[in-house]
Amino acid sequence: MTAVADSTARPGGQEPLDVAVVRKDFPILERTVRDGHRLVYLDSGATSQRPRPVLDAERAFLETSNAAVHRGAHQLSEEATDAYESARARIAAFVGVDPDEVVFTKNATEGVNLVAYAMSNAATAGPEAHRFRVGPGDEIVVTELEHHANLVPWQQLCERTGATLRWFGVTDDGRIDLTGLDELVTERTKVVAFSHLSNVTGAVGPVAPIVARAREVGALTVLDACQSVPHMAVDFHALGVDFAVFSGHKMLGPSGVGVLYGRRELLAAMPPFISGGSMIEVVRMEGSTFAPPPQRFEAGVPMSSQAIGLAAAVDYLSALGMDRVAAHEHELAAAALAGLAEIDGVRIVGPTEMDDRGGVVSFVVDGIHAHDVGQVLDSVGVEVRVGHHCAWPLHRRLGVAATVRATFYVYNGMDDVRALLDAVREARRFFGLEVTSADGAGADRDGV
């Protein structure tokens, strides 16, 4: 698949994505919705669509090599194991780490819980697990903009261990507020958990200063990379984080598979969370010993076909080029922000400029509940997310009950941005709000 447009190259010789070519790889985009409307899919931040190479990779594995991984001496098992471990290696390379630092999980939520519950189990583990022990007097630090998956597990860890939960606040434009960093992250801090890119505001998190301070005090860092890994070049080793999580279904891959990255020496010291088959070294009636990572954290029969599908998604994104993917989404988000700013009564929730920002665009329309906006958009084929997006505390902080969220990906183009803007105008008309020239009435339909 080649998806380079014939248009003028960007500065630095980078060719833009040819969206028309990319779209041909996604069968679902051929369908219509709501009485024949073109599908304008702007909900990839929740779940992305899958290209044919991903569907084909899963199907080929199931049709030719499906067997238990790491559990047989026959040919199919050998082929399945080789395919599974090849997938691990390709996914590891995609995020700049080594294969034995990649643990397959069912999703990012499980990855965060794996670390949090391992810390609960560390009290009875050996001396090598000292960095994971948490108790009264210790502190866990999060941020006010976290997805519930990177908040609730830490709340529960504190409840189980007697540790104290603390958090960074959020600026008015939806960024992590580092004011008081040194006072918040101290020698009492055991974990700092934060997002690389907000799933609501699109703001890119300040990874470097947080990681630097955590290292100074000996705290572990856990990065939610669900909204960054699918959309930009990410190297976990270069970022210096201790752990990171992401999910396959947000990056053109299957549901039911995610990744926990952990630094090799930390995984080696971390006690297991789920126990049973596959994660053991020796089992006796008196007790058991455990396999080295990553198998230690992959109890039971793994999600083999999903891992193969995720590796195919990584290959697909690598062929496109992650810098090109990021630049493409940057252009779409910038156009959406500019267009929404021209519609009366629309307020962006998050940064209004594209500096340190991704392709997540959340907004509210004065006088119309987000769910009602979403229904009008859906009626004309524009599919967005509405609600608090599993970030309830952030919405409270920003003074909104719910937002409309559009998220852009490789198969979206400027025609999708125009469709979004037209649908928002239609929502205002539907609910009887005045339509003025600022709403784009009579605007050039060839423009955004």
List the domain boundaries for the chain.
Answer: 19-44+321-431, 53-318
Supply the DSSP symbol for 176: B
Tell me what pLDDT residue 7 has: 38
Identical topology for domains 19-44+321-431 and 53-318: no
Question: What are the residues whose beta carbons fall under 8 Å from the beta carbon of 168, sequence distance 6 or more?
Answer: 141, 142, 143, 144, 176, 177, 178, 181, 184, 194
Asked if 390 is an active-site residue, the reply is: yes
Name the β-bridge partners of 186.
none
State the CATH architecture for 19-44+321-431. Alpha-Beta Complex (3.90)
Give the integer Cα–Cα distance in Å for 93 and 237: 11
321 with 334: CB under 8 angstroms? no
Residue 299: its pLDDT value, please?
92
pTM: 0.93
Catalytic residue among 39, 93, 390, 433: 390
The answer to whether the CB of 407 falls within 8 A of the CB of 46 is yes
Q: What residues have CB less than 8 Å from 304, skipping those under 6 apart?
A: 61, 66, 69, 80, 83, 84
The amino acid occupying position 247 is S
pLDDT of residue 6: 33
pLDDT of the residue at 70: 87
Distance CA 377, CA 420 (A): 8
From the list 7, 108, 18, 23, the residue with the least C-alpha distance to 321 is 18
Q: What is the pLDDT along the chain (448 residues), one digit of tens a residue?
A: 435 343 334 544 578 999 999 999 999 999 999 999 999 999 999 999 999 999 999 999 999 999 999 887 899 999 999 999 999 999 999 999 999 999 999 999 999 999 999 999 888 888 888 999 999 999 999 999 999 999 999 999 999 999 999 999 999 999 999 999 999 999 999 999 999 999 999 999 999 999 999 999 999 999 999 999 999 999 999 999 999 999 999 999 999 999 999 999 999 999 998 888 888 889 999 999 999 999 999 999 899 999 999 999 999 999 999 999 999 999 999 999 999 999 999 999 999 999 999 999 999 999 999 999 999 999 999 999 999 999 999 999 999 999 999 999 999 999 999 999 999 999 999 999 866 655 554 443 334 6
Q: CB–CB of 414/334 below 8 Å?
A: no
CA angle 301, 303, 307 (to 5 degrees): 140
Residue 400 half-sphere exposure toward CB, CA atoms < 13 A: 32
pLDDT in the model for residue 17: 95
**What number does CATH give the domain 53-318?**
3.40.640.10
Please list, in sequence order, all residues whose beta carbon lies within 8 angstroms of the beta carbon of residue 384, skipping any fewer than 6 positions away.
Answer: 42, 43, 374, 377, 378, 404, 405, 406, 420
